[in-house]
């Protein structure tokens, strides 16, 4: 097979890159190890920055998002037994939208199918070759068990943290593992509040979020080696009630648990994000803890930049944007890493922290929700900095 851009990975990064390239007249082929049904259904992050929603509308992908997404004009920090709201719209005039990553993926797959996009699911044995040349290749076995070779002008590695792409790029790794994890549940229970709430409690962090008017997404801080078997549904609900209790507010509404799992908390950056004609984007290049709601939004920022650079390279033979791609993308990545680290360290109970450290943490939280300047900084970073 032959194409201009071979894209490894059919997550939001790979699919959006393919869509943006199509709009610019650039051909691509997307290959993915998982099945289409799996990709459509896997539950991931759900908070879209204002810049992300603007881009999705601009490229014709905003109709269902605007109809079904939940617009949030702020978030709450909960501590000292009280709720403290940070009002994005009042502070900076912008907002975020809760719209699950799997919904974005569904919209992208449908758009690529309508436009005749080439999406190859259930491939195996993916490998990249000749990335130091102007004709890199991707080899794989297709869903019918037949060996295939895809010759490209450029390869985009959008295959996540555990994919093959980053292993093909000589890089320096910046890696930090946090001393706790998140136990997350997806529950069929109507939200009892309209916005996301981050809770700092002496027993540990908790997060109250939602995916729709009928589905809530909830998280608890647990030990990094915690066994999910130790957390039956009754214990999860009891702990959520304890950590999120605020006087005069309705308790968390319980419902059937649809999904349950434990997620490690990690920060990771690979630099550079390219080698020869292989370019990394999204989780293939960087990981952020989910506290700052930056993961998918960083992937969108990467591929927006990469699509413009590839268009200049492949249509006009202008390599200036592609040469600066890694440095430009990494400036935004490190800003998101810093914000995510700040949110994570401020809101979680740090194992082994002494009484002095706990009081300093509370002092920082109290200052953050009482200072207009501090709340504006939170709002600007959470809603999304300009491109």
Strands 118-120 and 216-222: unpaired
- Cβ-Cβ contacts under 8 Å for 200 (sequence gap 6 or more): 77, 78, 79, 346, 347, 348, 349, 361, 362, 365
Name the β-bridge partners of 172. Answer: 271
Indicate which residue of 19, 72, 84, 171 is catalytic: 72
> CA nearest 166: which of 56, 271, 291?
271
Residue 200 falls within a domain, yes or no?
Answer: yes
Domain assignment present for 116 = yes
Residue 249 has a pLDDT of 79
Cβ of 55: how many Cβ atoms within 10 Å?
20
Is residue 82 a part of any domain in this protein? no
**CA–CA separation, 232 vs 183, rounded Å?**
11
State which residues form the domain around 378: 177-263+356-383
Q: Measured in whole angstroms, how far is the alpha carbon of residue 324 from the centre of its chain?
A: 23
Does the pTM surpass 0.85? The reply is yes
Q: Which residues contact 104 (CB under 8 A, 6 or more apart)?
A: 12, 48, 56, 61, 65, 296
Q: From the candidates 289, 294, 325, 348, give the one annotated as an active-site residue.
A: 294
Residue 13 to residues 109, 245, 247, Cα–Cα distance (Å): 12, 38, 42
Asked if residue 194 and residue 334 are part of one domain, the reply reads no
42 band by pLDDT with thresholds 50, 70 and 90: confident
Which residue among the candidates 198, 208, 219, 325 is catalytic per the annotation?
A: 198
Q: 12, 136, 191, 290: which is the annotated catalytic residue?
A: 290
Q: CB of 210 within 8 A of CB of 188?
A: no
230 and 113 within one domain: no
Residues 194 and 246 in one domain: yes
Give yes or no: residues 237 and 374 share one domain: yes
pLDDT tens readout for residues 333-368 = 999 999 999 999 999 999 999 999 999 999 999 999
Mutual orientation of helices 355-370 and 372-383 as an angle, nearest 10°?
A: 90
Our answer to whether residue 367 is catalytic in this structure is: no
- CATH at residue 153: 3.50.50.60
Predicted local distance difference test score (pLDDT) of residue 248 = 75
pLDDT at 376 over 80: yes
**Residue 72 designated active-site:** yes
- Any catalytic annotation for residue 382? yes
Whether residue 12 lies inside any domain: the answer is yes
Q: Is residue 187 part of a domain?
A: yes
What's the total number of domains in the chain?
2
Query: How sure is the predictor about 45, in pLDDT bands with cuts at 50, 70 and 90?
Result: confident
For residues 152 and 208, state if they share a domain. Answer: no
Cα gap 118→61, rounded to integer Å: 18
State the average pLDDT over residues 309-314: 98
Which H or E run contains 15?
A: helix 12-23
Euclidean distance between CA atoms 197 and 211, whole angstroms? 14
Same domain, 208 and 254: yes
**Residue 382 reports pLDDT greater than 90:** yes
Whether 306 and 247 share a structural domain: no
- CA distances to 183, 234, 235, 255, 261 from 229, rounded to whole Å, are 11, 12, 11, 19, 10
**Same domain, yes or no: 48 and 131:** yes
CA triplet 307, 311, 314: central angle to 5 degrees?
130
One domain for residues 181 and 285 = no
In a domain, 78, yes or no: no
Q: Are residues 303 and 217 in the same domain?
A: no
- pLDDT tens, 126-182? 999 999 999 999 999 999 999 999 999 999 999 999 999 999 999 999 999 999 999
Residue 127 and residue 54 share a domain: yes
The Cβ of residue 145 has, within 10 Å, a number of other Cβ atoms equal to: 7
Give every CB contact of residue 386 below 8 A, 6+ residues apart in sequence.
51
Whether 79 is covered by a domain: the verdict is no
Q: Is 198 known to be catalytic?
A: yes
Task: For residues 332 and 338, give the distance between their C-alpha atoms in angstroms, rounded to a whole number.
Answer: 10
Cβ atoms of 304 and 357 within 8 Å: the answer is no
* 349 falls within a domain: no
Q: What is the CATH number of the domain that holds 211?
A: 3.30.9.10
The reply to whether 209 and 224 lie within a common domain is yes
Is residue 294 among the annotated active site residues? yes
pLDDT tens by residue, 178-221 = 999 999 999 999 998 889 999 999 999 999 999 888 999 999 99
Question: What integer pLDDT is reported at residue 250 of this predicted model?
Answer: 73
pLDDT band at 68 (very low <50, low <70, confident <90, very high): very high
């Amino acid at each position: 097979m032959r194409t201009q851009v071979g894209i490894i990975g059919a997550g939001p990064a790979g699919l959006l890159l393919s869509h943006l390239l199509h709009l610019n007249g650039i051909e691509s082929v997307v290959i993915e190890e998982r099945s289409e049904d799996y990709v459509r259904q896997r539950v991931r992050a759900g908070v879209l920055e204002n810049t992300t929603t603007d881009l999705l509308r601009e490229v014709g992908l905003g109709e269902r998002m605007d109809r079904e997404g939940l617009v949030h004009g702020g978030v709450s920090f909960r501590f000292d037994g009280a709720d403290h709201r940070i009002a994005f719209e009042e502070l900076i005039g912008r907002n975020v939208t809760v719209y699950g990553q799997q919904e974005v993926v569904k919209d992208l797959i449908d758009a690529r199918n309508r436009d005749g996009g080439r999406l190859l699911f259930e491939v195996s044995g993916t490998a990249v070759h000749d990335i130091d040349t102007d004709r890199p290749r991707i080899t794989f076995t297709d869903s019918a068990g037949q060996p295939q070779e895809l010759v490209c002008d450029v390869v985009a590695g959008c295959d996540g943290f555990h994919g093959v792409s980053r292993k093909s790029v000589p890089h320096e790794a910046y890696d930090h593992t946090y001393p706790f994890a998140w136990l997350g549940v997806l529950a069929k229970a109507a939200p009892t509040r309209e916005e996301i709430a981050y809770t700092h409690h002496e027993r540990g962090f908790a997060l109250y979020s939602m995916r729709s008017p009928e589905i809530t997404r909830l998280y608890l801080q647990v030990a990094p080696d915690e066994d999910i078997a130790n957390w039956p549904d009754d214990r999860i609900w009891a702990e959520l009630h304890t950590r999120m209790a605020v006087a005069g507010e309705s308790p968390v509404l319980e419902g059937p648990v649809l999904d349950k799992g434990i997620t490690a908390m990690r920060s990771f950056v690979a630099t550079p994000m390219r080698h020869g004609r292989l370019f990394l984007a999204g989780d293939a290049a960087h990981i952020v803890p989910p506290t700052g709601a930056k993961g998918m939004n960083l992937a969108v920022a990467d591929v927006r930049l990469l699509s413009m650079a590839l268009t200049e390279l492949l249509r006009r033979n202008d390599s200036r944007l592609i040469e600066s791609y890694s440095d430009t993308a990494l400036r935004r990545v490190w800003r998101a890493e810093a914000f995510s680290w700040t949110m994570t360290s401020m809101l979680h109970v740090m194992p082994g922290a002494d009484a002095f450290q706990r009081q300093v943490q509370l002092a920082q939280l109290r200052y953050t929700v009482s200072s207009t300047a501090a709340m504006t900084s939170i709002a600007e970073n959470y809603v999304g900095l300009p491109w």
